[in-house]
Amino acid sequence: MCKHGVLVPTEASDPAIKKVCKPAMLGRIWQASRRGLTLDHTPSHHFACSQWQTGHRPTASYIVYRWLFFLSALSIGLTSFACQRLPPLYDGPKVELNYFKWFIYFTNWGYMLIVLQAALALAVVHKYRNQKTYCIPCDDEDIPLPRRQKTPFLCRLYWLVHNIATDLAFVITLVYWTLVHDPRMHEINALNILVHGCNSLAMLLELAVTAHPIQAMHALFGAGAGLMYGIFSAFYWAVGGTDRVGLPAIYPALDWNKPGSAFGFVALCAVVMMFAHAIATVLAILRMKLAAKLRPSGSHLDKFTLPTH
């Protein structure tokens, strides 16, 4: 018989073999998935430090980096909003430029997330910079889960937004230059390159500098954000929304007048988002391994390898 999800051997069974019931296996998979999706990481000051520093408090150079990154991202985002114009080769009916349509584009969703994660990172850095005491365990793996220090909400929110912003940046760059860019409609200038190319370079820089890990299961957050944009675009089309030149589709590949191709495009982006997160995860692991080799043995940052729960 099966008791508590485990087959109890009977007289007719071999006592040396114990088989696990399918419900127990599914339960373990579910628990592992839940742990993988959590936004807990101990100690939480990893979110406030650079991978390449020593000590538990953010260094002055890292604070300067965080300010420069935030101000640069914010400046590019504001410039992108303020410098909108119709495509240079546009020859359709005269339309009045609506600045608020800047918010309907996936590129700009991704860039707003880059600015938001930069702002949250800056807030985390100053939170731990101003903190007078730290509660840092010597070996977190030996501490029972209920006794571990809970990750602050600010760090959780930063980690979530950072994950999504990284995945979206990679996908936006790839999709724009392969499927969306049309030389007849899109001018290649400094601002276009900044928001469709340097967005990925910025998040690669973040992956190289920051110390917190990237967790594989968090790919679902980025994929979820992509699906959310697909739902938004469908709703926007359903209520009669148009792009900046009056066309019914925000992007030609996301034309809900052709629901089959639109669904396929959203699904493709979600899959590519998962691969983008896998690349980010590998890069973060390589960064941690490289830092562990370059730093003197015994440094507290040698523990920056895998996320803990």
Compute the 3-state secondary structure of the chain and give helix, strand, coil in percent, each to the nearest 5: 60, 0, 35
Q: φ, ψ for residue 79 (rounded to 5)?
A: -65, -40
First to last CA, the chain: 34
User: For residue 2, what is the enclosing H or E element?
Assistant: strand 2-3
The pTM of the full predicted model, rounded to 2 decimals, is: 0.82
State the SS3 of 231-247: HHHHHHHHCCCCCCCCC
What is the tens place of the pLDDT at every residue in 80-117?
A: 999 998 877 777 778 888 999 999 999 999 999 999 99
For the chain, what is the mean pLDDT? 83
What is the tens place of the pLDDT at every residue in 16-73?
A: 444 555 565 545 544 544 566 789 988 888 999 999 998 888 999 999 999 999 999 9
Strand partners, 50: 210
What is the tens place of the pLDDT at every residue in 161-173?
A: 999 999 999 999 9
Q: φ, ψ for residue 105 (rounded to 5)?
A: -95, 140
Question: The dihedral of CA 186, 191, 195, 198: what is its sign?
Answer: positive
Portion of the chain with pLDDT greater than 90, in percent: 60
Alpha carbon separation from 250 to 83, 234, 266, 281, 309 (Å, rounded)? 19, 10, 13, 31, 41
* Number of other CB atoms surrounding residue 115 within 10 Å: 20
The pLDDT, as a whole number, for residue 31 is 52
The pLDDT, as a whole number, for residue 97 is 86
Q: Is 50 helix (H, G, I), strand (E, B) or coil?
A: strand
Segment 301-306 mean pLDDT: 45
d(CA 63, CA 123): 10
Q: Quickly state the pLDDT bin for 145 (edges 50, 70, 90).
A: very low
279: Cα within 13 Å, side-chain hemisphere:
16
pLDDT above 50 for 143: no
From the list 261, 256, 259, 228, the residue with the least C-alpha distance to 242 is 256
User: For residue 7, what is the enclosing H or E element?
Assistant: strand 6-7
Query: For the chain, what is the total number of helices (H) and then of strands (E)?
Result: 8, 2
Segment 279-293 mean pLDDT: 94
- Give the list of residues 6+ apart from residue 164 with CB closer than 8 angstroms, or none: 113, 221, 222, 225
Strand partners, 7: 2
Q: Domain residue spans in the chain?
A: 45-85+97-130+150-293
